[in-house]
């Protein structure tokens, strides 16, 4: 299963609007995508509640995984999204 690391660029972390934008993008891939903090159990990236419970703040590292056709491309896109300040 392909994985990518990303650093949260949004000033408020993965909370409220940035989390909603990320969750919508993860769901749009049509793939099983997970997100987690290093060393912790990953959660479903298409679940707003689960993504917000990560408590990922500005500058925190997260690990994304995806399974299925197009997983590499989906992870590249989602990693780039997290590297953008989604509050700007």
Please write the tens of the pLDDT for every residue from 15-47: 989 999 999 999 999 999 999 999 999 999 999
Query: Looking at the domain assignment, is residue 88 inside a domain?
Result: no
**CA proximity to 29, closest of 10, 12, 4:** 4
Query: Looking at the domain assignment, is residue 31 inside a domain?
Result: yes
CATH of the domain at 26: 3.30.1340.10
* Tokens standing for residue 78: 């989602």
Q: How far apart are CA 69 and CA 88, in angstroms?
A: 32
Number of domains in the chain: 1
Q: Do 63 and 73 touch, CB atoms closer than 8 A? A: no
Instruction: Give residue 38's domain range.
Output: 3-82
Query: Looking at the domain assignment, is residue 70 inside a domain?
Result: yes
pTM value > 0.75? yes
Which residues are identified as catalytic? 15
């Amino acid at each position: 299963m392909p994985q990518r690391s990303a650093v949260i660029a949004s000033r408020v972390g993965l909370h409220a609007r940035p989390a909603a934008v990320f969750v919508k993008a993860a769901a749009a891939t049509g793939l099983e995508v997970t997100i987690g903090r290093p060393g912790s159990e990953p959660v479903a990236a298409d679940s707003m509640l689960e993504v917000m419970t990560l408590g990922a703040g500005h500058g925190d590292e997260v690990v994304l995984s995806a399974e299925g056709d197009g997983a590499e491309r989906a992870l590249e896109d989602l990693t780039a999204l997290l590297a953008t300040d989604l509050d700007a």
